[in-house]
Amino acid sequence: MRPRAGSKIGGVSVRYAVLVILALMVLLPFVSIILAALHAPGSQISGLSIPDQWSWQNFTLAWEQGNFTNLMRSSMIIAFGVVPLAVLLATLAAYGLSILKVWGNRVLSLGFVLGLTLPVELVVVALYFNLREVGLTNSYIGIILAEAALFLPFGVYWMQAHFSSMPEELVEAARIDGARDMMVLVRVLLPISWPAITTLSVLYFMWSWNQFLLVLVMMQDPDRRTAPAGLGLFVGQYSTDIPLLAAASVIVIAPIVIVYLTFQRSFVNGITQGAVKG
């Protein structure tokens, strides 16, 4: 790989110095709360400071007082409900729109894409009162369906872009062999679509895990809130106990960071390509 011609601002060492400084700025908040979480419970901390003795107690305390056994369970139930449901619906819809070219597919695609600019705020007000009428507030099902609806525009768009990039001969050949539509999807397209589906699933998991406003509104039962929603309310109760709050934040952040590190390529590709495609 020869060096790019258009990159002569500063030498390589300057570039690395800038990169390292930026990386430190990004990481500083993490270092800061992890250090804070390791101080003795209830202690006063000032700035970045190494604790006199490492104390893991805050994590246990935060887990118990923050009710995290229940919060984590609901977060998981919701995420593992939303991800398969939304991925399945998006894949089927994209197949119908891009490959089967259902009547009105252009209008329908446009309708889904428009959903990308709908702010949650517009949906959530009436959604709460609509679902209250049919008894779907305070229920996992209501939240799962609402999140799936909010995430569908991106998924349909993503899977459509993916299916459109497939060579058409593939579908044609299978049809000439007499395969039915469902067979074409399951046997021909899905086996080569796993990278796209993995990326979509990972993004959906992240959005579901991080969703706050919807859960705050739809779920009043404190035992069935999600981890971020629980944390948002935990802050109000223990606003002065920094080590405890820091530990609670680390607990909420940890699962998504683990997923991110495991699937980091999917994340970066999903967000950069998902935005640029089309």
Partner 1 sequence: MPDDLAMSPSPPRAGAARGGEENAVRRTRRLPRGSRRAKGLLYVLPALAVYVGFAIWPALSTLRLSFLEWDGILPPVWAAFENYVEIFQDPALYEAILHSLILIIFFSFVPVVIGLLMTALLLGRVRTGMTFFRVVFFLPQVLPLVAVGVTWRWLYAENGVINQFLEVIGLGGITRAWLGDYHLALVALGLIGTWTMSGLCMMLFLAGAQKIDTSLYEAAIIDGAGPFQQFRHVTLPGVRREITIAAVITTIAALASFDLVFVTTNGGPAGQTNVPALLVYRLAFNEGNIGSASALAVVLTVIVIGFVSAIRYFAREDR
Query: What distances in angstroms separate CA 276 from CA 150, 192, 266, 268, 272, one per listed residue?
Result: 20, 22, 15, 12, 6
> Is 165 among the residues that bind partner 1 (CB under 8 A)?
yes
| Interface stretch with partner 1, choices 50-58, 59-67, 190-198, 268-276 (CB under 8 A) | 268-276
Phi first, then psi: give them for residue 27, nearest 5 degrees. -85, -20
Please list every residue from 113 through 142 that binds partner 1, using CB under 8 A.
113-130
The token pair that represents 180 in the structure block: 């039915």
Shortest Cβ 236–partner 1 spacing (Å) = 9
Contacts for 200 with CB less than 8 Å, ≥ 6 apart: 87, 90, 155, 158, 159, 270
Neighbours of 93 (CB within 10 A): 19
Q: Out of 40, 41, 42, 45, name the contact with partner 1 by CB under 8 A.
A: 45
Size of the site for partner 1 (CB under 8 A): 124
Among 146, 196, 200, 219, binds partner 1 (CB under 8 A): 146
Q: Does 208 bind partner 1 (CB under 8 A)?
A: no
- Closest to partner 1 by CB, 125 vs 192, is 125
The H or E element containing residue 29 is helix 12-37
179 interacts with partner 1 by CB under 8 A: no
Q: Does 93 bind partner 1 (CB under 8 A)?
A: yes
Binder among 6, 135, 178, 191 for partner 1 (CB under 8 A)? 6
Using rule CB under 8 A, residue 83 touches partner 1: no
Binding-residue pattern over the window 217 to 256 for partner 1, x denoting contact by CB under 8 A: x---------xxx-xx--x------x--xx-xx--xx--x
Amino acid at 276: V
Of positions 83, 152, 189, 219, contacts partner 1 by CB under 8 A = 152
What token pair was written down for 129? 């009162």
Token pair recorded at residue 256: 């998504």
For residue 152, give Cα distances in angstroms to 21, 50, 86, 111, 201: 38, 46, 6, 11, 12
Question: The tokens of 207 are what?
Answer: 């959005």
- Among positions 32, 55, 65, 70, the unique one binding partner 1 when judged by CB under 8 A: 32
Please report how close the Cβ of residue 5 comes to partner 1 at its closest, in angstroms: 4
Q: Which of 58, 137, 160, 266 binds partner 1 (CB under 8 A)?
A: 160
Burial of 67 (0-12, 13-18, 19+ CB in 10 A): middle
Q: Rule CB under 8 A: is residue 183 a binding residue for partner 1?
A: no
195 binds partner 1 (CB under 8 A): no
* Interface pick for partner 1 out of 72, 77, 89, 179 (rule CB under 8 A): 89
Burial of 133 (0-12, 13-18, 19+ CB in 10 A): exposed
Tokens of 118: 């709908």
Retrieve residue 179's tokens: 């395969």
Q: In angstroms, what is the minimal distance from the CB of 260 to partner 1?
A: 5
In whole angstroms, how far apart are CA 35 and each of 40, 44, 226, 239, 251?
Answer: 11, 13, 25, 18, 14
Per-residue binding string, partner 1, 53-82, x by CB under 8 A, is ------------------------------
Q: Interface with partner 1 includes 50 (CB under 8 A)?
A: no
